[in-house]
Amino acid sequence: MSQPDRRADDSATAEPITVFSDYVCPFCYLGRASLAAFRERRDDPPATEWHPFDLRGHKRGADGEIDESVDDGKDDDYFAQVRENVARLSEEYGVELDLEAVPDIDSWNAQQAALYVRDERPDRFEAFDDAVFEAYWTDHRDVGDPDVLAELAADAGLDPEAVRTALASDEWESRLEARFRDAKEMGVTGVPTFAYRGHAARGAVPPEQLERLVAGE
């Protein structure tokens, strides 16, 4: 995997762990719990840097809509395995997660809003990112709805109208498309992907594996 741009010095603790993520991915939600546990273990935890990834981009048509008729090779056995893995990791990481309760949504708007917040209000990004994940996986809200995102923005200390404007902006849509392309060019094929100094770990890996990632093992 090629390395994303870094905004840090050469010290191990200053360089962030890059996290490629999509809000509708259950393993991204679980991976956050593992990452939090890893960081709690360290006196000098590295920061994290969020990058968006379009989990269902392979189903997205020219009109920007997701076409569920596209065959992605994921059959009933695949989804049964997903449910089994989610249940196992939920118990392991102490996370309550109900795959059947969340709405089936397109995460594009949530990621466009998050990209705007990350780039324009980085001081409020963590709060907004947390709010979107919790709204979807805990409160089972439609985080593709601009009204919901504006409300979450306000709760996170942001100007909700600025977020609405970003959601309606062709410029921010183009920026998000570019970030999705960047992720693919870096070799990201699924989420969550944790990248650090040229190494990567994919999936909701345990804290011990994140330790090895940062150690370069």
- pLDDT for residue 168: 98
Distance separating the N- and C-terminal Cα atoms of the chain: 15
> Is residue 20 within 8 Å of 184, Cβ to Cβ?
no
Whole-prediction pTM value?
Answer: 0.90
Q: Express each pLDDT in 80-91 by its tens digit.
A: 999 999 999 999
Q: What is the DSSP letter of 63?
A: T
CB atoms within 10 A of CB 184: 12
What's the CATH fold of domain 19-215?
Glutaredoxin (3.40.30)
DSSP 8-class letter at 100: T
- pLDDT for position 1: 52
Q: Which amino acid is at 133?
A: F
Token output for 131: 């709010």
The ranges assigned to domains in the chain are 19-215
1-22: pLDDT as tens digits? 544 443 333 444 468 999 999 9
Low-confidence ranges of the chain (pLDDT < 50): 2-13
Q: Are strands 48-52 and 17-21 parallel, antiparallel or unpaired?
A: parallel
